[in-house]
Amino acid sequence: MTSLFDPIHFGDIALANRIVMAPLTRNRAVGQLPNDLMREYYTQRADPVTGAGLIITEAAQICAEGQGYLDTPGIHTPEQVAGWRKITDAVHGAGGRIVIQLWHVGRISHVSLQPGGVAPVSSTARPALGKTFTTEGFVDCSTPRALRTDEIPGVIAAYRHAARCAIDAGFDGVEVHGANGYLLEQFLRDSINDRSDAYGGSIANRARLLVEVMQAVVAEIGGGRTGLRLSPVTPVNDAAQDSDAQALYGHVVSALAPLKLAFLHLIEGQTGGARDLSDKGVKPFDYAALRAVYGGPWLVNNGYDRVMAIEAVASGAADAVAFGKAFIANPDLTRRLREDAPLNKLVPATLYGGGASGYTDYPTLHTAAAP
Ligand code: 8OZ
């Protein structure tokens, strides 16, 4: 029987175990630059015996327009590449594996975060009802401008450029952020996408941007170094349900199967919330059916505890499990899961922004036991 603690290959990336650190926005990249504090945080979680088999970094904007929150890192300038290089070197020195999450927020942004103070871009000109975080604190998302069809190649090129930057920065690969109500999901869902060009309307049209982005990234760095995160039913960031999520995501994974991606990463249910949304009127989503039409490495996420994760891998329902909050609070999460040791509790107040407190000072079993 396969164990959560067994090694696995995600495409070209060799993982020492199947416990993955989920991408986690922490807002400590002042000036959009990766820094020494971030290096310490990731390196603490990189040990192949006590830590993650794979670290997926916090979401990093692929271009200046892709930013939606204060102090998130970029992966599109030489300075950002140089900053990330110190992090990937340290993680690799500790024996770990690390990919970077490539992010364009689309309309989940604010004019104060956009170059020139202009409107953010999206599939639509309708604003998201929700907040983002700026120097002024929490503010309403700004009304976006719908991308013109002739601007879409530039967006795809920005993903491709960011993927090249990721490899230049020493990452083992990338995870494209196709989830949580950001740009690619703003194209996917018919609850948001109101376009009448080749990128709106039918399922194939709404999936076109995502598929073209994945093709471009794979052409640049190879399928074996490229993953993708999806969240078929999450309602976060004003992403109302698609009228037929099962058909939409079935099309997406069928279209992507030939790319032989390193992994697909599924958020099951509401990101960071309930796995079952039936009491909110959301139709049950059949993740197993999606997996059956896909066939490649399958990473699952959302609210897994130790028993659920062990069972998911043992039963073959998943190849690996990503943990978010548990990895924030437990740098040695893999050791704790292996030994069935108690977990540190998360401190929500220090999740976003700030310094070392609640970031690099969670104890390991080893430090907790020290005199
Ligand atoms: C929390 C706060 C800001 C951004 C996501 C990148 O939900 C995020 C995010 C999460 O994917």
* Euclidean distance between CA atoms 39 and 35, whole angstroms: 6
Mean pLDDT of 43-56: 98
182 is catalytic: yes
Per-residue pLDDT tens for 107-162?
999 999 999 999 999 999 999 999 999 999 999 999 999 999 999 999 999 999 99
Determine contact, residues 210/184, Cβ cutoff 8 Å: yes
Q: How far is CA 301 from CA 51, 55, 83, 90, 280, in A?
A: 17, 14, 28, 26, 20
Task: Give the model confidence (pLDDT) of 325-365 as tens digits.
Answer: 999 999 999 999 999 999 999 999 999 999 999 999 999 99
State how far Cα 257 lies from the chain centre.
19
Instruction: Tell me the per-residue pLDDT of 78-97, one tens digit each, with 9 for 90 and over.
Output: 999 999 999 999 999 999 99
The pLDDT score that the predictor gives to residue 297 is: 98
Calculate how far, in angstroms, residue 302's C-alpha sits from the geometric centre of ligand 1.
Answer: 14
Is the CB–ligand 1 distance for residue 101 below 6 Å? no
Closest ligand 1 atom to the C-alpha of 177? 11
Ligand 1 centroid–CA 371 distance in Å is 38
Query: Does ligand 1 have an atom closer than 6 angstroms to the CB of 271?
Result: yes
- Domains, the chain, with CATH or none: 8-369 (3.20.20.70)
Atom number, ligand 1, closest to the C-alpha of residue 59 = 6
Q: Alpha-carbon distance 248 to 103, whole Å?
A: 21
Supply the residue whose CA is at minimum distance from atom 11 of ligand 1: 180
Question: Hey, which residues does 322 pair with through a beta bridge?
Answer: 20, 301
Residue 155 to residue 122: CA distance in whole angstroms? 11
What is the rounded CA–CA span in Å between residue 122 and residue 254?
A: 25
Which mutation among 21, 24, 25 tests ligand 1's pocket best, with the greatest number of atoms within 8 A of CB?
Answer: 25
Q: How far is the CA of 348 from the centre of ligand 1 (A)?
A: 14
- Whether the CB of 180 sits within 6 Å of ligand 1: yes
CA distances from 36 to 39, 69, 122, 258, 358 (A): 5, 20, 33, 39, 16
Whole-model pTM: value is 0.98
| Residue 31 exposure: Cα atoms within 13 Å on the Cβ side | 7
**Residue 168, CB-side half-sphere exposure with 13 Å CA sphere:** 16
The residues, ordered by sequence, that sit 6+ positions from 340 with a Cβ below 8 Å of its Cβ are 306
